[in-house]
Amino acid sequence: MKVYISKYRDHWISPYTMLDYAFWWTDWSKCSRDKTVIRSLAEEREHKYVEHPAWVERWSDRLLPVSRAIAWVWDRVHPPINYIKIDHYDTWSMDHTLSSIILPMLKQLKAAKHGSPFVDDEDVPEHLRSTAAPPKENDWDTDENHFKRWDWVMSEMIFAFECKVDDSWEDAFRSGEHDITWIPVDAAGNEVLKGEHKYYQMGKGPKDTYQCDYDAMKVVEARIQNGFRLFGKYYQALWD
């Protein structure tokens, strides 16, 4: 497998941007180019926004073809790269192949995300549900557990893919050593004397000490399956 994907490229230059930088000394240009999002109350009171003059609106329409021409040229000079080559062996165990790619992406998204989607209460433990959060001040507000629910869901996804990439987690539920012996049996599976049999059945030898806590293992397997279920359900929420 070979994957080459460039970062998002946007070659669009707005007509307003051209005019703002061409008339950089004007108050309306300074207001338009001010990218400050958060100001103190004092600064907000002093800040007076100046609208574009009417002639800027007229010239923006005239400059629109220029903006499109610039974008057209740069789209061809510096096009996005989206090359994916799949080899035949990539699908021998496609679930493992994809897990190795998905896992680091999920970890990066969890560490760098700037928001959270709405997560259904039924998908998280009771203490993280909206019903367990303090009452909201306004109906349109998010509850105090809103972001915690998404953090929990992402952690469950990551856990599922970690177990898929490395199945050594099963070793925690196993102990002892195998000692295999072959028992002579008849067609019905009954043990018979040597020389009177046609079949063998695998059994435990006298030195076999192997034990496995299958019940505890099923609990982890259920958590893994739930992590994959959440990944599918919230797939379209995997954005930053």
What is the span of the domain harbouring residue 205?
Answer: 94-240
Do residues 216 and 172 touch, judged by C-beta distance below 8 A? no
| Share above pLDDT 70 across residues of the chain, in percent, rounded to a whole number | 93
Domain boundary among 63, 85, 107: 85
Measured CA to CA, the distance from residue 196 to residue 68 in angstroms comes to 89
71 and 106 inside one domain: no
Number of H helices, E strands in the chain: 7, 6
Indicate the pTM of the whole model.
0.73
Look at residue 41 and tell me whether its pLDDT is greater than 70. Answer: no
Angle between helices 214-233 and 146-165 (to 10 degrees): 120
Domain boundary among 60, 85, 110: 85
Look at residue 43 and tell me whether its pLDDT is greater than 60. Answer: no
What is the pLDDT averaged over residues 4-8? Answer: 87
65 and 156 inside one domain: no
* pLDDT single digits (tens) 108-138: 999 999 999 999 999 999 999 999 999 888 8
Domain tally, the chain = 2
Domain boundary among 85, 119, 134: 85
| Share above pLDDT 90 across residues of the chain, in percent, rounded to a whole number | 63
Measured CA to CA, the distance from residue 69 to residue 124 in angstroms comes to 50
